[in-house]
Amino acid sequence: LLLHLLEKKTGAVSSFFCNNYLKNACEIVEGLILYLFSLFSFLLQTTVIEYVKPSDLKKDMNDSFKEKFPHIKLTLSKIRSLKREMKAIGEDCGLQPLTVAMAFVYFEKLVLQGRLNKSNRKLVSAACILLAAKISSDLKKQEVKHLIDKLEERFRISRRELIFFEFTILVALEMALYLPESQVMPHYRRLLQQQ
């Protein structure tokens, strides 16, 4: 096509020459799971993504997360799973996306502080939802009771532990439950896009 256009413009193809023509004829650059083929680099470039088993991809993702954040005791896939559960509970209980976004911020702050482990992860995520719901919503007593029932059912935790852990989370967050817009809005936008 390019040769055809040059021929139309100049009237001759013989003047066309690219010194990298043979060198770039089929250049293959290999990445981790990505292959880039440059066929006549000035004409065509395509990308081929090699199939990787989801379990291998998950393992690589968790390993790289562990390298970046060695103080966090949970894997990235477990953190994402807990956030999906939090979102599902928010939808089941009719919480606003802004409330769920606030719960995500509380949760991530606690994750980055290294306060989560395998034994308390469900309590922490449930307490974050409960605190966010109490702060950002005008919940009536029945709605709070319904939310606590859902949290008990979904996370398989006891009401007594949840109420006790709510105060523990409040202290860990240094009573700073009113969040700046810059912390909440990225989560809020993402939640709206997922709806």
| Residue from 95, 164, 190, 83 nearest 135 by CA | 95
Residues 6+ apart with CB under 8 A from 178: 135
The answer to whether 100 and 87 are in contact (CB under 8 A) is yes
Q: Which residues pair with 38 in a beta bridge?
A: 27, 45
Question: Mean pLDDT lowest for which of 10-24, 70-84, 106-120, 139-153?
Answer: 10-24
Sequence ranges of the domains in the chain: 2-49, 65-194
* pLDDT band with cut points at 50, 70 and 90 for residue 76: confident
Residues 6+ apart with CB under 8 A from 131: 103, 106, 166, 169, 170, 173, 177
Identify the DSSP state of 23: T
**CA diameter of the chain:** 86
Report d(CA 171, CA 30) in Å as an integer.
49
* pLDDT band with cut points at 50, 70 and 90 for residue 85: very high
E strands, 31-189, in order: 34-39, 44-49
How much is the mean pLDDT over the chain? 75
* pLDDT band with cut points at 50, 70 and 90 for residue 126: very high
Looking at domain 65-194, its CATH architecture is Orthogonal Bundle (1.10)
Average pLDDT of 147-159? 89
Report d(CA 3, CA 7) in Å as an integer.
6
Whether the model pTM is above 0.85:
no
The answer to whether 162 and 147 are in contact (CB under 8 A) is no
How many CB atoms are located within 10 Å of the residue 89 CB?
23
